[in-house]
């Protein structure tokens, strides 16, 4: 199923789903700013789980330092981080083979950042559309250096494990371009073949709208969380922005609110949103919202049940992060040693 979104997908080198996932190295991650939502689930989580089941090697970063890119205080960081891990496991990630770790637990990531920063110009960072968008939604009055250099941090997160595939939402494509640029320039300057050029992997729903018709985001009050209960889901869907036209049609550009809801129900039921619109016909927004609520609740029921079980054992979740940090540190230290050696750095002696 190919889904059209309100915003066109930019022309970038983003990969289609690989023919042979086994042995591929995959890196993805999320900021612990709140519970994961349906945008994450259909945007990247399902691809992560599918890749893992087909034999890819997964690294998943809980990007805790990156929380303070757009706000002064990282609120309830430990709780949000553990909840991310619960969401990962509930949706099917297997911590036995996936390396799930917190950014702040892997110091070598920040050592990689320094040479990487030297490979990117200020003008390039200033032009990055995702940085501009994140600055526009930032809770800070002034743009910090950390926010400005966000894509380079992400390049370190991706390149430390030499990932060649990065399942992300559409908003991350400009960041991926920075990671590709950093990899290429490092290899040109210091020695061919140190880093692969990572490719983005978009899903069929690269930019799922939230209940207000704009990108569903943890921090924008427009998200339906995986962890929400059925009544809360119904309330959130009832409050979604639609329009007064009783005839339901799938028109992402002209009717983003209605289209977002149709897309959500269609994804949950693995159907075509246009067909679903025809079925609802003249039922208006009320019928549409009833359909969406049922579709979401039904689809998420087993995930939510698993979530509740996992949430009862926080000790296990913390252990997953500890084991992940050990594995990630070993990989990051090896890459850092290679980087230092390629640069002829004193620290490599
Ligand atoms: P925040 O508002 O705090 O930035 P977020 O909801 O944007 O949170 P992130 O942690 O920034 O979530 O994004 C994690 C991953 O999920 C990224 O790959 C991002 O592209 C993807 N993603 C986030 N929201 C959506 C969405 N609405 N549709 C598709 N993918 C999404
Ligand atoms: Mg975001």
Q: pLDDT tens across 16-62, in order?
A: 888 899 999 999 999 999 999 999 999 999 999 999 999 999 999 99
Q: How far apart are CA 198 and CA 18, in angstroms?
A: 13
| H or E element in which residue 102 lies | strand 99-102
The residue to mutate among 51, 93, 169, having the most atoms of ligand 1 within 8 angstroms of its beta carbon, is 169
Nearest ligand (C-alpha, residue 6): 1
Radius of gyration of the chain, Cα coordinates, nearest whole angstrom: 21
Helix (H, G, I), strand (E, B) or coil at 214: coil
- 53: its two tokens: 């089941």
Greatest Cα pair distance, the chain, in angstroms, is 73
pLDDT of the residue at 345 = 79
Quickly state the pLDDT bin for 68 (edges 50, 70, 90). very high
DSSP 24-81: -EEEEEE-SSS--BHHHIIIIIHHHHHHHHTTPEEEEEE--GGGGGSSSS-TTHHHHH
Mean of pLDDT values over 254-264: 94
2 pLDDT band, cuts 50/70/90, is: very low
Tens of pLDDT, residue by residue over 279-330, are 999 999 999 999 999 999 999 999 999 999 999 999 999 999 999 999 999 9
pLDDT reported for residue 348: 66
Query: What pLDDT does 7 receive?
Result: 39
* Ligand 1 nearest atom to the CA of residue 28, by list position: 18
Provide the pLDDT for residue 16.
81
Probe ligand 1: pick from 4, 5, 30, max atoms within 8 Å of CB?
30
How high is the pLDDT of residue 132?
A: 87
Evaluate if residue 5 carries a pLDDT over 60.
no
Kindly list the strands in the beta sheet with 25-30, ordered across the sheet, starting from the edge strand earlier in the chain.
14-15, 199-201, 165-167, 25-30, 57-62, 99-102
**CB distance 332 to 109 below 8 Å:** yes
Partners of residue 28 on adjacent β-strands: 60
For 322-344, give the DSSP string: HHHHHHHHHHHHHHHHHHHHHHT
Is residue 1 predicted with pLDDT exceeding 80? no
Closest atom, ligand 1, to C-alpha of 215: 27
Q: Containing H/E element for 100?
A: strand 99-102
What letter does residue 215 receive in the DSSP assignment? B
pLDDT at residue 35, rounded to an integer: 93
Reduced to 3 states (helix: H, G, I; strand: E, B; else coil), residue 225 is: strand
Average pLDDT over residues 93-110: 97
Q: Is the CB of residue 151 less than 8 Å from the CB of residue 130?
A: yes
Tell me the two tokens of residue 203.
């899903």
Mean pLDDT for the chain? Answer: 92
Q: Which residues contact 322 (CB under 8 A, 6 or more apart)?
A: none
- Nearest ligand 1 atom, CA 219: 2
pLDDT of residue 9: 40
Q: Residues with Cβ within 6 A of ligand 1?
A: 30-31, 33, 39-40, 43-44, 168-169, 171-172, 206-208, 215-220
Q: Taking the CA atoms of 15, 21, 23 and 25 in sequence, report the sign of the dihedral they define.
A: positive
Model confidence pLDDT, tens digit, residues 197-252: 999 999 989 999 999 988 999 878 999 999 999 999 999 999 999 999 999 999 99
Predicted local confidence at residue 72, as pLDDT: 87
CA 3 from centroid of its chain's CA atoms: 18
Contact between 110 and 335 under an 8 Å Cβ cutoff? The reply is no
pLDDT value of residue 239: 96
The pLDDT-based confidence of 10 (bands split at 50, 70, 90) is very low
**pLDDT tens across 106-157, in order?**
999 999 999 999 999 999 999 999 888 888 888 888 889 999 999 999 999 9
Contacts 24+ apart (CB under 8 A), 213-216: 213/6, 213/241, 213/256, 213/257, 213/260, 214/256, 215/39, 215/169, 215/171, 216/37, 216/38, 216/39
DSSP-assigned letters across all residues of 151-179: HHHHHHHHHTTT-SEEE--GGGHHHHHHH
Residue with the two structure tokens 């700013």: 33
Whole-prediction pTM value?
Answer: 0.92
């Amino acid at each position: 199923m190919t889904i059209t979104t309100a915003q066109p997908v930019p022309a970038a080198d983003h990969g289609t789903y690989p023919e042979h996932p086994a042995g591929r190295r995959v890196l993805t991650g999320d900021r612990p700013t709140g519970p994961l939502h349906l945008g994450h689930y259909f945007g990247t989580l399902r691809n992560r789980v599918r890749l893992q089941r087909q034999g890819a090697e997964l690294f998943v970063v809980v990007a805790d330092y990156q929380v303070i890119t757009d706000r002064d205080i990282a609120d309830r960081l430990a709780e949000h981080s553990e909840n991310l891990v619960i969401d990962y496991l509930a949706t099917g990630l297997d911590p036995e083979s996936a390396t799930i770790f917190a950014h702040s637990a892997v110091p070598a990531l920040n050592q990689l950042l320094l040479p990487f920063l030297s490979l990117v110009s200020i003008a390039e960072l200033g032009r990055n559309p995702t940085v501009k968008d994140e600055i526009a939604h930032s809770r800070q009055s002034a743009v910090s250096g950390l926010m400005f250099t966000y894509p380079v941090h992400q390049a370190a997160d991706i390149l430390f494990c030499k990932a060649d595939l990065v399942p992300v939402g559409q908003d991350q494509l400009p960041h991926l371009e920075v990671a590709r640029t950093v990899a290429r320039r490092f290899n040109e300057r210091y020695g061919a073949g140190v880093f692969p050029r990572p490719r983005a992997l978009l899903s069929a729903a690269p930019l799922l709208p939230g209940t207000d018709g704009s990108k569903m985001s943890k921090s924008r009050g427009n998200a339906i969380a995986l962890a929400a209960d059925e009544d809360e889901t119904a309330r959130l869907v009832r409050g979604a922005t639609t329009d007064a036209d009783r005839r339901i049609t799938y028109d992402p550009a002209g009717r983003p609110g209605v289209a977002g809801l149709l897309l959500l129900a269609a994804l949950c039921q693995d159907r075509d949103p246009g067909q679903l619109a025809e079925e609802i016909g003249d039922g208006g927004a009320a019928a549409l919202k009833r359909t969406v609520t049922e579709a979401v609740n039904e689809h998420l029921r087993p995930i939510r049940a698993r979530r509740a079980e996992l949430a009862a054992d926080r000790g296990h979740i913390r252990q997953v992060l500890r084991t992940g940090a050990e594995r990630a540190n070993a990989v990051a230290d090896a890459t850092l040693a290679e980087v230092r050696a390629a640069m002829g750095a004193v620290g490599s002696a």
